[in-house]
Structure 1
């Protein structure tokens, strides 16, 4: 290349001067690069041509005039045209070595060409900044800066003519890489990256554009990926088990995602992952579902977790898995509960348990808890606490807790789970329970099962009744424990749910205060017969006790004074209130000097009726049945039931085998029991338990009707008018926190409210609220 710069007015001389330098810049001279001198000469020649040709006219006079007017016509069209023609010829003259593939040739030449294009763009910098910019601002969208022009010419003259060959060879290399053959990954990434550079929007050069990349590479690449993995996964599964296949999937996914990060654009990555998920996971989800239950049975948590992680890549494939888990939990729960039912029946046949005795609450609840814990652990470890699987576990638990062979022994019967759970709670809250018997019973288990109850109000009623007995009999293990359980029930449901029970504790405290006042008012008078008197004043609306006429007792004269004194003190405090004695509740501890000389007296635990019977024997040792009954009172059947334990445990002798009015009962002079403390209450046989159950059921039904009425009135008050179905559909969800209401019950309550004139039925099956 000559070192003397050409005349700035001579286009051909200028082009002839710079062309050899462009050859070096673009690598046409055996990849030899341009020198700094050559580069500066090219730049100066182009600069001189563009600057000096930009003045209007070419003679000195015109030049002088233009200088005065400071008016220019930017030059560059002729040299731009020369460059355009040159680039086309240069690219067409590029030749592939016989020993290289087209992909290798393409990448080698592209790499060198793009480097040269950047330098060449600098050579024509002045033209780019003035002439090109002016032309484009004037609307010439077919004029580009030199670097962009180079890429466009490469696209037209190299890529578009050989696109199919290039992409086929890229995809071939990618497949070889998938087959674990050694390939030059630089060829893949450089070729794909070139498509991104070639994706030029000629209307707006600054606008991101991937049209060449997407159409030429992305679509065939994704299609090839889908074909490859559909084939591979089917072939692999035909010769391997599902667990091995899942491991293979994990490996493949890791490999593909790692490789894709080196050559895929972000635009493709999501679609690429979706294709992998479709081919390897979604397409074979059924095979995984088929193995899922087997893995559950074998407790293969690691493999279940692997399956979950794979399926979670396609979220919709998790739904059948979650449903399968729910059904499996239900099935396992049914098997476990059938087993304890059959075991109970077998023990009854063998005589180990009394006929008709049900499942022990502890065994039943602990079985429910064991099932829950087993699958809760699976949900935590294998499914990473996924809400879908938590919901499946909850649904399954709600089903087997409320509906199983023990809870519902007969079709359409009310579930016994709430009642059994209340008895379970009573078991570990009583102070009479041995620590060894309740080691695996606690409030946590109680709350887990409680959460799944449909009829929480049924549990509340039975729990309230057992709590009432613990309170009045002084059998609470701990006040703190009772209050903590109550607080947890309140948190789980509502303050309203536990309001009655909270008031019961208040009544116990008020009763203690009353007892102290009665003691203060007694002025230190000591009763030789009564050592300690603990009266309990219970609000009738809060406690589950009702006055029973069959238990109307005649208080023994020696016991009458404290009762009268209590009545007097209470009446002074609460003028107008009436007290009704609940003789069928409460108990007494009395000393009986019926042992041998020198031995301590016996301590008897008795009911109030039994207390009056025994106190009568202080007067004489024998009574006929009629005399004793008249002295004690109560209904005859009740009296007989409370008397029976004394003869059963040999405290009294009975003159005739069959009891009649003349049967004589004689208190023994010396009681032969080996125990100093004897409980006669436990042997009383009455139908009180059945009556209590009937009373509890009746109270639950009444409470539900009241709750439904309040709910309907509240809704109608705000809506004024509602159609029948709309009203029912709004009521049912609002009652679900307390009980599972039936549509028939809602309809009956609506009829009651119509009778009470809260609602009015309109012609089109619509109800109107009457204010």
Structure 2
């Protein structure tokens, strides 16, 4: 509501000159003498005069409307304001020019204090003046803007425009003010204390002067960017390029990284203290270029030294700095990968020593895991588990875990050693098998397994060793065995572990079968006619067990139980035939020939040999051949352990007593029971495989792997071609390599041989007119 009541001391509403003189006194107080104050009645008089003038209407003597008036049919001429607006505009201009002249001889901090003080007073006064002419703003200014008039503003914005154009934008003034601000910032960077509040006030004025020419209510930061930010960014970049070049010339790289880290933090804080938030991105990018990008090669060159010295804090500092610049981390990832490869190879070489062939599986796996664990820790602490470094670790592990001094050029040695280590963990002989650490040990096995290329080799060795543990009842824990198979299944799928799981099924069925057999024997025979007997019935095709390579004459002591079980099984499963794997049999023989009781744990072949000494103290090789039915290889294998353990003494034909001799024996070589033997243990295990037997097993396993691979490649080719019908030769090779890569890494010639073999078998043919295209034959 407009104020009511007019005193006689107020100017006539239609007298512009009198009105302005009256208003000017009040405006001067508001703009220059605000500290003197103004009472409310006087302010209301000023408001009334301004209102009355803006709402007055008068006609000139010629009947025309006065300048700045408009005509409304219902109200007549009103909204007089143009003359008054021009007077206000002229006042702000003159006032701004006057203030500019006051800054002529000032510089640096003195200039900034003058500018900031006058800016504060000017904007406060302009705000009061703006409220004084609220009616002018709401009506005349609004109408002018609605009609599309340019450069018409509300009174407060008008005041800012005049300050911008006549106080700030005068070239000499704005350059001096900007330079003064930059000097203050440089002083702060040099460690001096400055008035950050003063700097903020000046910079905030730059932002406030960013006015939208089309909308006086809106503002932008164009002026701030043009008149300050660009110069500030350039000065910052120059400052840090100069400082960093001098610092790296006189200090270590690690000291420089700390310096750069500090400087970047200071610039982040500087934005918070007195810069516009929009400056942050551009400022930090320039600082990163000057402090990091310009010296990136220096940091990259230092990286391996920090890794070698295990400088975790410095590695993290380098990582955080280089992560700020494009591609800054990639050289670190490559360097990290090469470093891990070297460390992995060195760890294996150090553990292997000079005798690579005698490398213990547990020591080998421990060396691999030690390197992996160490650098997982480095990635976690120094690189915050960044995906690129984890990928680099994976690449490095795939290299040194598959090919190193212990493996040579063979990719099958590492999975063999891993399988043997796993076998050692899962055997009863493992002292920690009953501890909770066994599960963690198996998890560690899977860490290495993940990087093994020839997973099919591991499968074959593991399957062979699992079969031995089960057949010999040597597993430390059924739960641990099941857990390991579950881990392998999760990693490689159901097909990979199908046969392993079937082995456990057979073990359960065998227990039920033997319980039933034992119950029937107890019903039919007297206990004196029975012996402890347990036969594992294992499904052919699921167990990696081979038929005997030698004939075998079943000892008379075992024959009754053998015959009874054959008859029992035949009655229970009509039509099935049992193949007895005597080479895997195990017996406990009770002896008393040394004057007191001993129990020998032997193989079935060893038992057949020793049982011959119930009636003889000395037998020749030929006599043992005839009595046991074993061929030369099997018999020598049985005798080897008996001689080594000093149960038997070997005497070569025509020579002296050759106790423990390893020379080749003829048919007339004799073997005597060692009647003078002294054994410290009452129970002795004589069923110890010879080193030659272990090597032969390894060769057999690898032969099986080669054959399985050949068949798998052919099956994969057929599966792909059956689905695709026609395919380019090169593309087929690529797809086969991709599909079988989870089991082993095939070489291209092997895939090509598989394709040629299928062409010969007429599963595939080359397409006429395009020899590099293959076609599937249904």
Give the TM-score normalised by the residue count of structure 1.
0.90
Which one of 175, 183, 194 corresponds to residue 183 of structure 1? Answer: 194
Cα offset, 1:469, TM superposition: 0.7
1:323-342 deviations in Å (ceiling 9; x for gaps):
21221122222222222333
Counterpart for residue 681 of structure 1 = 687
DSSP-derived class of the 2:240 partner: helix
For the pair 1:166 / 2:165, whether they are aligned, the reply is: no
| Matched ranges for 1:14-25 at <5 A | 14-25=19-30
- Give me the whole-angstrom Cα distance separating, in 2, the residues matched to 1:723 and 1:57: 99
Counterpart for residue 47 of structure 2 = 43
Counterpart for residue 402 of structure 1 = 402
- Give me the whole-angstrom Cα distance separating, in 1, the residues matched to 2:27 and 2:272: 36
| Matched ranges for 1:238-317 at <5 A | 238-314=249-325, 316-317=327-328
The two structures, once aligned, show a CA RMSD in angstroms of 3.0
Counterpart for residue 765 of structure 1 = 772
CA, structure 1 residues 199+707, in 2 after alignment: closer, same or farther (shift >3 Å)? farther
For the pair 1:703 / 2:708, whether they are aligned, the reply is: yes
Cα offset, 1:406, TM superposition: 1.0
Counterpart for residue 659 of structure 2 = none
CA contact (8 A) 1:654 1:665 kept: yes
1:566-618 deviations in Å (ceiling 9; x for gaps):
2333334433332211122132111122121xx3x211121111122223333
For the pair 1:228 / 2:224, whether they are aligned, the reply is: no
Counterpart for residue 628 of structure 2 = 632
- Give me the whole-angstrom Cα distance separating, in 2, the residues matched to 1:147 and 1:718: 78
DSSP-derived class of the 1:81 partner: helix
- Give me the whole-angstrom Cα distance separating, in 1, the residues matched to 2:477 and 2:613: 37
CA contact (8 A) 2:207 2:221 kept: yes
For the pair 1:110 / 2:119, whether they are aligned, the reply is: yes
CA contact (8 A) 1:529 1:558 kept: no
Cα offset, 1:419, TM superposition: 0.3
Which one of 294, 318, 331 corresponds to residue 342 of structure 2? Answer: 331
Counterpart for residue 494 of structure 2 = 495
1:516-564 deviations in Å (ceiling 9; x for gaps):
121223225246575211111122211111113x223121233223223
CA contact (8 A) 1:642 1:684 kept: no
CA contact (8 A) 1:92 1:158 kept: yes
Which one of 183, 187, 202 corresponds to residue 213 of structure 2? Answer: 202
- Give me the whole-angstrom Cα distance separating, in 2, the residues matched to 1:68 and 1:220: 56
Which one of 600, 604, 623 corresponds to residue 604 of structure 1? Answer: 600
1:671-693 deviations in Å (ceiling 9; x for gaps):
533332233222657x5434422
Cα offset, 1:422, TM superposition: 0.8
Cα offset, 1:509, TM superposition: 0.8
DSSP-derived class of the 2:327 partner: helix
CA contact (8 A) 2:514 2:534 kept: yes
For the pair 1:453 / 2:462, whether they are aligned, the reply is: no
- Of stretches 457-466 and 639-648 in structure 1, the one that deviates more from structure 2 is 639-648
CA, structure 1 residues 224+508, in 2 after alignment: closer, same or farther (shift >3 Å)? same
DSSP-derived class of the 2:329 partner: helix
Cα offset, 1:235, TM superposition: 0.9
For the pair 1:9 / 2:14, whether they are aligned, the reply is: yes
CA, structure 1 residues 557+247, in 2 after alignment: closer, same or farther (shift >3 Å)? same
- Give me the whole-angstrom Cα distance separating, in 2, the residues matched to 1:87 and 1:247: 51
- Give me the whole-angstrom Cα distance separating, in 2, the residues matched to 1:171 and 1:683: 85
Give the gaps of 5 or more residues in structure 1: 346-356
Consecutive aligned runs of 4 or more in structure 1 exceeding 6 Å deviation: 55-63, 436-441
Cα offset, 1:61, TM superposition: 13
For the pair 1:531 / 2:542, whether they are aligned, the reply is: no
Counterpart for residue 470 of structure 1 = 469
Which one of 143, 148, 154 corresponds to residue 134 of structure 1? Answer: 143
Counterpart for residue 94 of structure 2 = 89
CA contact (8 A) 2:425 2:433 kept: no
CA contact (8 A) 2:411 2:453 kept: no
Cα offset, 1:710, TM superposition: 4.3
DSSP-derived class of the 1:740 partner: coil
CA, structure 1 residues 56+70, in 2 after alignment: closer, same or farther (shift >3 Å)? farther
DSSP-derived class of the 1:69 partner: coil
Counterpart for residue 576 of structure 1 = 575
Cα offset, 1:764, TM superposition: 6.0
- Give me the whole-angstrom Cα distance separating, in 2, the residues matched to 1:567 and 1:525: 16
Cα offset, 1:259, TM superposition: 1.9
- Give me the whole-angstrom Cα distance separating, in 2, the residues matched to 1:384 and 1:81: 65
1:93-137 deviations in Å (ceiling 9; x for gaps):
224265664333222222211112222111111111111111111
Cα offset, 1:232, TM superposition: 0.7
CA contact (8 A) 2:55 2:78 kept: no
Cα offset, 1:56, TM superposition: 8.1
Counterpart for residue 483 of structure 2 = 484
- Give me the whole-angstrom Cα distance separating, in 2, the residues matched to 1:504 and 1:159: 91
Which one of 606, 610, 616 corresponds to residue 612 of structure 2? Answer: 616
- Give me the whole-angstrom Cα distance separating, in 2, the residues matched to 1:138 and 1:99: 44
CA, structure 1 residues 594+392, in 2 after alignment: closer, same or farther (shift >3 Å)? same
Counterpart for residue 656 of structure 2 = none
- Give me the whole-angstrom Cα distance separating, in 2, the residues matched to 1:111 and 1:765: 84
Cα offset, 1:71, TM superposition: 5.3
- Give me the whole-angstrom Cα distance separating, in 2, the residues matched to 1:122 and 1:207: 18
Give the gaps of 5 or more residues in structure 2: 1-6, 654-663
- Of stretches 207-216 and 238-247 in structure 1, the one that deviates more from structure 2 is 207-216
Counterpart for residue 385 of structure 2 = 385
CA contact (8 A) 1:74 1:130 kept: yes
Cα offset, 1:497, TM superposition: 1.8
Cα offset, 1:72, TM superposition: 5.2
Cα offset, 1:472, TM superposition: 0.5
- Give me the whole-angstrom Cα distance separating, in 1, the residues matched to 2:8 and 2:165: 35
- Give me the whole-angstrom Cα distance separating, in 2, the residues matched to 1:534 and 1:57: 133
- Give me the whole-angstrom Cα distance separating, in 2, the residues matched to 1:728 and 1:269: 53
Counterpart for residue 418 of structure 1 = 415
DSSP-derived class of the 1:551 partner: coil
CA contact (8 A) 1:401 1:417 kept: yes
Cα offset, 1:664, TM superposition: 4.6
Cα offset, 1:378, TM superposition: 1.7
DSSP-derived class of the 1:226 partner: helix
- Of stretches 73-82 and 667-676 in structure 1, the one that deviates more from structure 2 is 667-676
CA, structure 1 residues 606+15, in 2 after alignment: closer, same or farther (shift >3 Å)? same
CA, structure 1 residues 578+276, in 2 after alignment: closer, same or farther (shift >3 Å)? same
CA contact (8 A) 1:56 1:71 kept: no
CA contact (8 A) 1:403 1:415 kept: no
Cα offset, 1:239, TM superposition: 1.4
- Of stretches 109-118 and 639-648 in structure 1, the one that deviates more from structure 2 is 639-648
Cα offset, 1:756, TM superposition: 4.6
